[in-house]
Amino acid sequence: MTIAKNHRKLGIIAAATIFILDQITKYAVIYPLALQSRQTIEILPFFNLTFVRNYGVSMGFLRADTEMMRWALVGLTLAIAVFVAVWMWREKARDDVLGLGMVLGGALGNIVDRVRFGYVIDFADLHIGNWRPFLVFNIADAAITIGVLILLARALLLRDKGEKVEKRNA
């Protein structure tokens, strides 16, 4: 089996794992815990479960207040997910495939919410006292953020190393 095929498996496993964990945690928030909008359960002094209906994308941008906007947002995020999937399939660097798999799994989790409910379910509320450095988020959002950070770090930090290797091989 080629290295690229192994990397693809890693990306698919990462995407599937993120998607499943995201959907399980959202199910738990809605059904067994039966949280209502803005209701909070304190888990730790710095972490609450707070049910939030997110009608927009990151930080509430592009709010989908109408059915047309909802489906336009589904279409836009689905197009981005397809782009990420194709990129992941063609990518040869294992760490990049892992980052892309995380982004893909998170995107699919949020797309399913928007199709099912018309909004994305957010619930993770990290805070220090009354200071909240993050908006309320979910597993999918965290995976997308971490996946993008992996891609950015590799692009910015390894670019110079790649150029040095190319010069040495020339």
Per-residue model confidence as pLDDT tens digits over 44-86: 999 999 999 999 886 666 788 889 999 999 999 999 999 999 9
Question: Span 101-121, mean pLDDT?
Answer: 97
Question: Span 116-127, mean pLDDT?
Answer: 95
Q: According to DSSP H, which parts of 35-134 are helical? A: 67-90, 94-117
Q: Based on the number of CB atoms within 10 Å of its own CB, is 140 exposed (0-12), middle (13-18) or buried (19 or more)? A: buried
Residue 26, pLDDT score: 97
Range of the domain at 131: 3-169
Residue 65, pLDDT score: 82
Would you say residue 135 has pLDDT above 60?
yes
Query: Which of 127, 147, 152, 150 lies closest to 137 in space, CA to CA?
Result: 127
pLDDT tens, 14-24?
A: 999 999 999 99
Task: Determine if the pTM surpasses 0.85.
Answer: yes
Domain total in the chain: 1
Give the chain's mean pLDDT.
Answer: 89
Residues that are catalytic: 122, 141
**Between residues 58 and 144, which one has the greater pLDDT?**
144
3-state secondary structure of 113: helix
